[in-house]
Amino acid sequence: MNFFFTFPLERDASVTANAHVLEVLQVVPPFPRQHVIAQKVVKYLRDARVDGDHWVDKWHGSPFYATAHAVFALTASAPEACAPAFSWLRDSQRADGSWGWFSHGTPEETAYAVQALMLAPVEFRAGLHEQLERAAAYLNETEGEPVIPMWVGKTLYGPTQVVRSAVLSARTLLARSEHARSAN
């Protein structure tokens, strides 16, 4: 098998579940065939790209979630596989500084895009100064907005604490990189 399933008897594999497996494989003590398993997961993630530049997942309605998690996992094992995703993220920002797959941007999707872009090579990030400033302003302006249900279970739901932690993480990354604007 060339990928991992989330549950027994599942029909389709999950991009994010496999990205999480790859992240674990990168930090656990070495074991036999570890490299072979990791390379299978890397191949699965490469092959799972949509249009060669981003990922979608069955557990979240937005490709920004799946793309960010694939980037988190691949930057250490296959950084070249992330280059198209960085360009896709750069090019999909909205005029108001947000990212969003549906009718408007959301703080959650913006957070995932920011988190992934912060892992881009320094020379790529150097061209994102204005975009990251707009993202920081958007995240500051939308602080406290209700979480929009985009997570998939038996119904759509929004795990408030998980989403708020992602937004806080993105705001912190932006502040540390001097792209944050005062909330005033």
Q: What is the pLDDT of residue 162?
A: 96
Q: What is the pLDDT of residue 154?
A: 87
Tell me, what CATH number does 41's domain have? 1.50.10.20
Q: What is the count of structural domains for the chain?
A: 1
pTM across the whole model = 0.92
Residue with tokens 């570890």: 34
The residue-averaged pLDDT of 60-75 equals 97
pLDDT in tens, 4-51: 767 677 778 899 999 999 999 999 999 999 999 999 999 999 999 999
The residue-averaged pLDDT of 133-156 equals 94
List helix spans (H) across 52-176.
63-77, 83-91, 107-117, 122-125, 129-141, 160-176
In a domain, 172, yes or no: yes
Note down the domain range covering 138. Answer: 15-176
For residue 57, what are the β-bridge partners? 60
The four Cα atoms 72, 78, 84, 90 give a dihedral, to 10 degrees, of 30
